[in-house]
């Protein structure tokens, strides 16, 4: 234990901050876990769970509990999982355009310029 008064106060403040950070981290983990379980069970409110988890991650970053890159990586993985479960149908292929008049001839290759390597 510290002997100096300012060190004692610093230790107390540190303990308070650690408890607050632990609580916030725990709530973020809970929200991310709820989203993952919802994705595994194909829950109907998956979009809302994703929004809640992303908001919690952003809040933790703004309070300095998580590093910005850490939260960004987690959000990216959440969105990847959300998009994988969305089962979005592929767009229909574009129709082929009719060949333009005169395009049936093969184009000639341009002659090589002098002085340039080929």
**Alpha helices of 1-118 — where are they, by DSSP H?**
5-41, 46-62, 68-86
Rounded mean pLDDT, 55-78: 96
Identify the band that residue 42 occupies on the pLDDT scale cut at 50, 70 and 90: confident
CATH classification of 7-86 is 3.40.50.720, yes or no? Answer: no
Kindly give, in sequence order, each residue whose CB lies less than 8 Å from that of residue 8, ignoring residues fewer than 6 positions away: 1, 2
Percent of the chain at pLDDT exceeding 70: 77
């Amino acid at each position: 234990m510290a002997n100096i008064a300012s060190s004692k106060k610093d230790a107390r403040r540190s303990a308070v901050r650690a408890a607050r950070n632990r609580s916030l981290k725990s709530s973020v983990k809970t929200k991310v876990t709820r989203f993952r379980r919802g994705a595994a069970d194909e829950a109907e409110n998956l979009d809302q769970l994703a929004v809640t988890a992303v908001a919690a991650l952003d809040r933790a970053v703004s309070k300095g509990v998580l590093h910005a890159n850490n939260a960004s990586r987690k959000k990216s993985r959440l969105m990847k999982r959300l998009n994988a479960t969305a089962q979005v149908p592929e767009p229909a292929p574009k129709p082929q355009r009719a060949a333009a008049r005169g395009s049936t001839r093969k184009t000639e290759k341009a002659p090589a310029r002098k002085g340039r390597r080929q």
